[in-house]
Amino acid sequence: MSTFLQRMYEGGPYFMFPSLLILIVIIILIVKGFLNLKKDDSKTLSLISSIGLFALIWGVFGQLLGLFQAFDYIQMAGEIPTTVLAGGLKVSMLSTLFGAIIFLISRLGIIALTWLKK
């Protein structure tokens, strides 16, 4: 659990913690969809889809802002070792990776709900 929190802070708390809240909302909506399988609840499916896509874009946005900030620091510092650059690029991808995972969970939930309703 401590590694998870460390990665959350590394990826930027302004993007990672809202993404975690988005994941919780998606899981709640998927569970709600499973509990209401008999009803035609296309609004829930649409909401899961929209929120999942937002999570993906939110992660990419966090990465882009992080990269811009990193490039500003690199420009001010001049030359930096490639290991530092590689580490920075790895950290910048955490928010995109988390957003992609959330997007995949939302898509899998939609697929499962659609399949079970038919």
How does DSSP assign 34-60, residue by residue? Answer: HHTTTS--HHHHHHHHHHHHHHHHHHH
Domain range list for the chain: 2-117
Instruction: Give the per-residue pLDDT at 3.
Output: 85
Look up the pTM and report it.
0.88
- The number of helix segments (H) and strand segments (E) in the chain equals 5, 0
Instruction: Give the per-residue pLDDT at 4.
Output: 81
Per-residue tens of pLDDT for the chain, all 118 residues:
688 888 888 888 888 999 999 999 999 999 999 998 877 778 999 999 999 999 999 999 999 998 888 888 888 888 888 888 888 888 889 999 999 999 999 999 999 999 988 7
Instruction: Give the per-residue pLDDT at 107.
Output: 98
At 90, the amino acid letter reads K
Instruction: Give the per-residue pLDDT at 73.
Output: 83
